[in-house]
């Protein structure tokens, strides 16, 4: 499907009802958005202002953003970027605040740190930052959204003399009954300070419950869209910010793609109109690095209804595809089964000659189906 394609099939029945809001701690009725209104931005003009303002940006903040999100794009035969990090919990930290500091979402932090309390992890506790990524399959261009992973990958066009890079950000995506559509689309526009218009069905629900909801929610702290919205070539679907960042990295939206406020602010002016956007469902990504084959496994989407054996077979197909691309070594089946069973989002080396350094991210359960 090319970049001018619109998404087809039964998933399009949700069109017109899918700008979203976080469920956690917020009435469900807030989750459906009908229209967005705000200042349409010419990002070519906005880019000039952004670059001028960047000179005044705090250097430490700029460096932190680069470290957490941006990687040099590796050669075509290398598919893994980043490194797993171990950090100590500070006195006021939660697992979620640490995750946000490193650009990691809710579920990714939870899966990488089983047994660690989300809200009171304990000062001095060592926690894992799952900041090593197998790049998604397909062309390394435009914007790629991987739904099971709840991350996006952006390949900006390098300027003359610059090395190509890849940026990756945590996102929230559509929950099971309002899943984000899969396919290829493109960026169609940019709205700064969007207003939210709750649809009639939401207002009626509020009225039935004896509450009121305005027809228009102005930009500000009560607006679920945050400060920025990037339109896609699918009516009523946007990539936008949020006023509830604790929900980033969860399946809690009605189809839209939600980012941390600081992340969408960073990408807003650098995602040109017409940029290709590929939305995929890849619970298993495989890739090569340092002569070793890695698999990165995530929970499959509930609506796919895969049992354990079907999930394992899908992972095998993914691995076979990478071996056809670069035949080398023999796959350790037990290591592959362990990675699929754990589904913790940490890249796992699966060739038999994997060293202890590679294997330390996988812990096989006592029994695997």
Active site residues: 240, 256
Cα 86 from Cα 113, distance rounded (Å):
11
- CA atoms in the 13 A half-sphere facing the CB of 171: 32
Cα 362 from Cα 347, distance rounded (Å):
8
Give the DSSP H or E segment for 144: strand 142-146
Counting every residue written for the chain, the total comes to: 369
Cα 67 from Cα 88, distance rounded (Å):
18
**How many other CB atoms are there within 10 angstroms of residue 340's CB atom?**
24
Cβ atoms of residues 36 and 264 within 8 Å:
no
Cα 128 from Cα 107, distance rounded (Å):
13
Q: Which residues pair with 226 in a beta bridge?
A: none
* DSSP 8-state assignment for residue 295: E
DSSP H helical ranges for 226-307: 261-268
Largest separation between any pair of C-alpha atoms in the chain: 65
Q: What is the dihedral of CA 22, 37, 199, 229, to 10 degrees?
A: -30
């Amino acid at each position: 499907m090319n970049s001018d394609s619109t998404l087809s099939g039964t998933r399009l029945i949700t069109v017109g009802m899918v700008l979203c809001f976080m469920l956690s701690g917020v009435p469900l009725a807030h989750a459906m958005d009908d229209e967005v209104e705000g200042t349409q931005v010419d990002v070519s003009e906005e880019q000039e202002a952004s670059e001028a303002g960047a000179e005044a940006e705090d250097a430490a903040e700029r460096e932190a953003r680069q470290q957490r999100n941006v990687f040099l794009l590796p050669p075509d035969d290398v598919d893994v970027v980043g490194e797993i990090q171990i950090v100590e919990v500070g006195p006021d930290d939660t697992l979620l605040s640490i995750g946000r500091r490193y650009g990691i979402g809710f579920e990714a932090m939870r899966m990488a740190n089983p047994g660690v309390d989300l809200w009171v992890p304990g000062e001095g506790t060592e926690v894992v930052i799952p900041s090593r990524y197998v790049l998604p399959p397909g062309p390394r261009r435009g914007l790629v959204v991987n739904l099971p992973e709840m991350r996006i990958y952006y390949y900006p066009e390098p300027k003359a003399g610059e090395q190509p890079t890849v940026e990756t950000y945590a996102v929230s995506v559509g929950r099971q009954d309002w899943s984000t559509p899969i396919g290829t689309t493109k960026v169609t526009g940019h709205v700064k300070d969007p207003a939210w218009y709750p649809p009639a069905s939401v207002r009626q629900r509020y009225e039935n419950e004896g509450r009121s909801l305005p027809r228009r929610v102005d930009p500000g702290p009560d607006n679920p869209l945050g400060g920025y919205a990037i339109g896609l070539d699918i009516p009523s679907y946007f990539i936008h910010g949020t006023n509830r960042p604790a929900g980033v990295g969860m399946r809690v939206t009605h189809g839209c793609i939600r980012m941390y406020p600081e992340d969408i602010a960073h990408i807003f002016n650098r995602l040109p109109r017409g940029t290709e956007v590929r939305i995929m469902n890849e619970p298993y990504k495989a890739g090569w690095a340092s002569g070793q084959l890695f698999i990165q496994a995530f929970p499959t989407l509930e609506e796919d209804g895969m049992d354990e054996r079907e999930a394992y077979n899908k992972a095998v197909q993914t691995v076979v595809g990478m071996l056809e691309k670069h035949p080398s070594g023999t796959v350790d089946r037990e290591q592959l089964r362990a990675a699929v069973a754990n589904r913790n989002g940490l890249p796992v080396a699966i060739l038999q000659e994997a060293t202890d350094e590679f294997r330390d991210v996988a812990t096989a359960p006592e029994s695997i189906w």
